Chain A
Amino acid sequence: MTAKPKFAMYWAASCGGCEIAVLNIHEKILEVDANFDVVFWPVAMDAKYKDVEAMEDGSILLTLFNGGIRNDENEHIAKLLRRKSKILVAFGSCANEGCIPGLANLSDSREIVYTAYNTITTDNPHEIYPMTSYDTPEGEIHIPKILPVLKTLEQVVDVDYFMPGCPPESHQIAAVIDLVIQVLQGKAELPPKGTVIGAGNSTVCDECKRTRNIKSIKSFERIWGIAPDPTLCLLEQGIPCNGPATRSGCTARCPTAGAQCIGCYGPAEGVVDYGARLISSYASVIESKDPEEIEQILDGLVDPIGQFYRFNLAGSLLKAAVPAWKKEKA
């Protein structure tokens, strides 16, 4: 019997939702078991870092890498898995664009640690903060160093394919696994390197079943503050929906459930900067030519940076706010 191709899945700075999304392909997970030798997957199996280090370079056929690069350990493992893998996929929003944890790039990393260690319930009279190297009575022990800015996988290593979503939808994962199995059987070919896989080529609006009437708005609304019509476009009812700038592929789940799109599938095809595209989309629905009134309407967006770069800050042209960026440059 010939050896099965090797498969790995790893989480860097992530939440584990990508692993759950993979498990949510349900019965299909048995096909992964049948077609691959799973060699490294910390959530499910007991292989350790040392075992990966011992593998030959390029010996893992497919690695799904989720999570952003938050600390030096994440960066080390990203480089290690790049070396060991033939095909490295940036899997999920964190690895692709930083996701919600990328909002940490709005702050200096010292502020992040300071905040966590000075909450109302923290008992910290001696102002103790975590140390990357600490001398215990028994010997020195270490924890990883937090990097000044959270990076995407592509900002650290060469990436073969990009699979967006927070998390990627399970039906998309299943389709990608089918494709890989067909490639293994010689029935299909891999797409060109750099392709965005497991997603659509248009926007969430194109998938959304809500009706658009090309209607303009006079104010932005909060989702809890009105009873929106369940059949009409949310943006046209004043709710700041991210659909116009966001890549399709999720079947517009959130707008279908009465909630605004928050942009987890990242920039739509051809969009250079996510926030810039969304700003221009919003500008096009605002009905006013009076600068003062426009100001007033825009005041309805209480958190512009979060609105326009919620998932995409680390992967955007901006990457980080000034304090974090200065520290990174230094």
Chain B
Amino acid sequence: MAQRITIDPITRLEGHGKIEIFLTEEGEVANTYFQIPELRGFERFCVGRPVEEMPLLTNRICGVCPEAHHMAAAKAADAVYHIDPPRTAKLLRELLYSAFYVTDHTTHFYALGGPDFVLGPDAPVAERNILGVIHKVGLEIAGKVIQARKYGHTVVEIIGGRKVHPCTSIPGGLTKGITEEQRKEIEEMGKWAVEFAQFSLQLFNDIVLGNKAYVDLILGDIYTHRTYYMGSVDENNKVNFYDGKVRVVDPDGKEFIKYAPKDYAEHIAEHVEPWTYLKFPYLKKIGWKGFVDGNDSGIYMATPLSRLNASEGMATPRAQEEYERFYSTLGGKPVHQRLATHWARLIELLYAAERWVELAADPEVTSPNFHAIPTEKPTEGVGIVEAPRGTLTHHYTTDERGVLTKVNLIVGTTNNYAPISMSINKAASSLIKKGTVVTEGMLNMVEMAFRAYDPCFGCATHSLPGQMPLQVTIHDAQGNPVKVLRQYC
């Protein structure tokens, strides 16, 4: 009798999700459904609020990356008031954002994605987590990880006023600046972060790249898809997290489009399916062709890997060296192997740390000129930043008092909903074959398909609130649930 497998909740990610795997009579995978069980309604209930509150309200879409929403909202609110903040304000915002990236990418590598590699995909469930990583790599390294998170959050607090849900960005700049003493402290912490990022890349080299089984897993077909790739770039087409234009390359690596934030709706549309609360963005010019790869399908990816693919390099020297090593090791651009995202994330970690030091060293960063008072009539505006999990777009329309009348949000993880769904389908189809006994380790390898994307369904479900652990249900050919497998702690 054929079966159906349910993974609920999926775990070690931000937010809630569920995977349904249907098997044929023969025991092969017939189809998979990756469902997002919630919707919070930010697009509805932010209407009526003053636009300057959006950097505070949309923080609460996601407490893991509130800094991303804070920045996208502040940039959209600047645009609503047609104001260009002073250079000091931009420096401070990007400095906060770079330090946040160090914290966020560190959390993903060591706590969420890393356990699968450091301990192995089929390590005992009770060990396959951050505490297991600490037990394996030792307290000294755990201390460094804690320090990296602490320094990042300290910078967020100095500039943003709070460690979680920063409060200082407003239309036209910030509510406060920093002192020379704080600048020095930030710069010193940044230098330490550069060393930590280099250390993390070395650890990845030793543990992952030094292990043939892992390299085979990364390069294998199970976790590979040919799609379009999206990321923000500066004027030299180098990766930028805070500002620039959005660039999309095709599966062959050629530039397909490059757009300014205000033009996003000409290029991106969202497909709807009735079995999930989340929408599936795609490239409008190509169209939605279903869950398929290739140049003729509008599905694109927006992750650390896609940012590297969509750019022509990194703007800081050490990260640029690592960028070159990445592509020469993996056989050129673009890289389609999704598990390589873990490596790409560490290259971004190094870039963020280097950028942190650069910005902290800028003489204008301590200037008291951190805010310009908006004087124009508020209308409409779009703000885009690169959230760690993908391009984040906030689009607001207001009345003449600056009170919101319309809100549209396309968040980092949502961009990746279709590619994640395909990756889960392919991993399940490759691993679950006629006559195989489905093991917990195998299901964890299905979960590894989404974990590479570092999805945040807290963000994605901004539209109502919820959570995301994973369960797999096995259904027979008649659709009756036969077996439910979940991971054990």
Q: Contacts A23-B107, A143-B276 given; indicate if A166 touches B401 (C-beta within 8 A).
A: no
Residue in chain B with minimal CB distance to A137: B31
The reply to whether A71 and B37 contact each other, CB–CB distance below 8 Å, is: yes
Per-residue CB contact flags for chain A residues 32-53 toward chain B (1 = under 8 Å, else 0) read: 0100001111111111111100
The reply to whether B275 and A143 contact each other, CB–CB distance below 8 Å, is: yes
Cβ of A122 < 8 Å from any Cβ of B? yes
Cβ of A3 < 8 Å from any Cβ of B? no
The reply to whether B269 and A112 contact each other, CB–CB distance below 8 Å, is: no
| From A10, A112, A223, contact of B39 by CB (8 A) | A112
Per-residue CB contact flags for chain A residues 166-197 toward chain B (1 = under 8 Å, else 0) read: 11001000000000000000000000000000
Cβ of B41 < 8 Å from any Cβ of A? yes
The reply to whether A302 and B272 contact each other, CB–CB distance below 8 Å, is: no
Q: How far is the CB of A137 from chain B (nearest CB, A)?
A: 7
Q: Contacts A120-B408, A139-B22, A226-B373 given; indicate if A45 touches B129 (C-beta within 8 A).
A: yes
For A68, the chain B residues whose CB sits under 8 A away are: 465
Instruction: Give the contacts of B405-437 with A (CB-CB under 8 A).
Output: 406, 408, 410
| From B48, B66, B161, B470, contact of A253 by CB (8 A) | B161
The reply to whether B175 and A257 contact each other, CB–CB distance below 8 Å, is: yes
Instruction: Give the contacts of B466-489 with A (CB-CB under 8 A).
Output: 466-471, 475, 478-480, 484, 486-489
The reply to whether A49 and B463 contact each other, CB–CB distance below 8 Å, is: no
Q: Contacts A123-B288, A258-B161 given; indicate if A115 touches B125 (C-beta within 8 A).
A: no
Residue in chain B with minimal CB distance to A226: B373
Instruction: Give the contacts of A84-118 with B (CB-CB under 8 A).
Output: 94, 99-101, 103-104, 106-107, 109, 111-113, 115-117
The reply to whether A121 and B81 contact each other, CB–CB distance below 8 Å, is: no
The reply to whether A14 and B458 contact each other, CB–CB distance below 8 Å, is: yes
| From B64, B470, B475, contact of A16 by CB (8 A) | B64
The reply to whether B161 and A143 contact each other, CB–CB distance below 8 Å, is: no
The reply to whether B487 and A48 contact each other, CB–CB distance below 8 Å, is: yes
The reply to whether A131 and B275 contact each other, CB–CB distance below 8 Å, is: yes
Report how many residues on chain A are interfacial, defined by Cβ distance under 8 Å.
98
The reply to whether B33 and A254 contact each other, CB–CB distance below 8 Å, is: no
Q: How far is the CB of B290 from chain A (nearest CB, A)?
A: 13
The reply to whether A104 and B44 contact each other, CB–CB distance below 8 Å, is: yes
The reply to whether A38 and B131 contact each other, CB–CB distance below 8 Å, is: yes
Among B8-16, B217-225, B339-347, the stretch in contact with A: B8-16
Per-residue CB contact flags for chain A residues 135-147 toward chain B (1 = under 8 Å, else 0) read: 0111111011010
CA distance A119 to B487 in the complex (A): 37
Q: How far is the CB of A177 from chain B (nearest CB, A)?
A: 15
Q: How far is the CB of B80 from chain A (nearest CB, A)?
A: 11
For B111, the chain A residues whose CB sits under 8 A away are: 23, 44
Cβ of B271 < 8 Å from any Cβ of A? yes
| From B49, B62, B175, contact of A223 by CB (8 A) | B175
For A259, the chain B residues whose CB sits under 8 A away are: 161, 167-168, 170, 175
CA distance A70 to B371 in the complex (A): 38
The reply to whether A48 and B167 contact each other, CB–CB distance below 8 Å, is: no
Cβ of A24 < 8 Å from any Cβ of B? yes
Q: How far is the CB of A97 from chain B (nearest CB, A)?
A: 13
| From A20, A124, A303, contact of B48 by CB (8 A) | A303
Q: Contacts A40-B489, A128-B273 given; indicate if A257 touches B265 (C-beta within 8 A).
A: no
Q: Contacts A71-B464, A302-B402 given; indicate if A48 touches B488 (C-beta within 8 A).
A: yes
For A13, the chain B residues whose CB sits under 8 A away are: 38, 40, 464-467
For A43, the chain B residues whose CB sits under 8 A away are: 11-14
CA distance A226 to B172 in the complex (A): 11
The reply to whether A45 and B50 contact each other, CB–CB distance below 8 Å, is: no
Report how many residues on chain B are interfacial, defined by Cβ distance under 8 Å.
119
Q: Contacts A19-B63, A49-B471, A138-B30 given; indicate if A146 touches B39 (C-beta within 8 A).
A: yes
| From B45, B128, B489, contact of A104 by CB (8 A) | B45
The reply to whether B403 and A46 contact each other, CB–CB distance below 8 Å, is: no
Q: How far is the CB of A115 from chain B (nearest CB, A)?
A: 4
CA distance A71 to B35 in the complex (A): 15
CA distance A11 to B269 in the complex (A): 30
CA distance A50 to B6 in the complex (A): 12
Residue in chain B with minimal CB distance to A258: B175
Residue in chain A with minimal CB distance to B484: A50
The reply to whether A141 and B20 contact each other, CB–CB distance below 8 Å, is: yes
| From A12, A257, A258, A306, contact of B465 by CB (8 A) | A12
CA distance A41 to B112 in the complex (A): 12
The reply to whether A94 and B45 contact each other, CB–CB distance below 8 Å, is: no
| From A70, A73, A120, contact of B265 by CB (8 A) | A120
Q: How far is the CB of A220 from chain B (nearest CB, A)?
A: 11
CA distance A112 to B57 in the complex (A): 16
CA distance A264 to B57 in the complex (A): 11
| Max count, chain B CB within 10 A of own CB: residue among A19, A140, A227, A257 | A257
CA distance A104 to B42 in the complex (A): 8
For A23, the chain B residues whose CB sits under 8 A away are: 107, 111, 149
For A258, the chain B residues whose CB sits under 8 A away are: 161, 168, 174-176
Q: Contacts A14-B465, A71-B37 given; indicate if A48 touches B269 (C-beta within 8 A).
A: no
The reply to whether B129 and A46 contact each other, CB–CB distance below 8 Å, is: yes
The reply to whether A166 and B60 contact each other, CB–CB distance below 8 Å, is: yes
The reply to whether A139 and B81 contact each other, CB–CB distance below 8 Å, is: no
The reply to whether A11 and B467 contact each other, CB–CB distance below 8 Å, is: yes
The reply to whether A21 and B487 contact each other, CB–CB distance below 8 Å, is: no
Q: How far is the CB of B289 from chain A (nearest CB, A)?
A: 13
The reply to whether A70 and B464 contact each other, CB–CB distance below 8 Å, is: yes
For B142, the chain A residues whose CB sits under 8 A away are: 30
The reply to whether A48 and B11 contact each other, CB–CB distance below 8 Å, is: yes
For B445, the chain A residues whose CB sits under 8 A away are: none
The reply to whether A136 and B31 contact each other, CB–CB distance below 8 Å, is: yes
Instruction: Give the contacts of B1-58 with A (CB-CB under 8 A).
Output: 4, 7-9, 11-16, 18, 20, 22, 30-31, 33, 35-50, 52-53, 56-57
For A20, the chain B residues whose CB sits under 8 A away are: 63-64, 164
For A139, the chain B residues whose CB sits under 8 A away are: 4, 22, 475, 478-480
The reply to whether B37 and A73 contact each other, CB–CB distance below 8 Å, is: yes
| Max count, chain A CB within 10 A of own CB: residue among B39, B268, B456, B484 | B39
Instruction: Give the contacts of B313-328 with A (CB-CB under 8 A).
Output: none
The reply to whether A48 and B471 contact each other, CB–CB distance below 8 Å, is: yes
For A107, the chain B residues whose CB sits under 8 A away are: 41, 44-45
CA distance A264 to B463 in the complex (A): 21
Q: How far is the CB of B342 from chain A (nearest CB, A)?
A: 18
Q: Which residues of B pack against A, CB within 8 Å?
A: 4, 7-9, 11-16, 18, 20, 22, 30-31, 33, 35-50, 52-53, 56-57, 59-64, 66, 81, 107, 111, 125, 128-131, 134, 139, 142-143, 146, 149-150, 153, 160-165, 167-168, 170-172, 174-176, 264-265, 268-277, 279, 281, 288, 371, 373-374, 395, 401-403, 406, 408, 410, 444, 456, 458, 463-471, 475, 478-480, 484, 486-489
Return 12 A-B CB contacts under 8 Å, by A number.
A12-B466, A14-B63, A21-B63, A47-B125, A47-B486, A48-B487, A103-B46, A111-B44, A122-B270, A123-B269, A138-B479, A144-B466
Known: A120-B406, A305-B48. 6 other contacts (CB 8 A): A15-B61, A15-B64, A29-B146, A67-B465, A139-B475, A144-B466
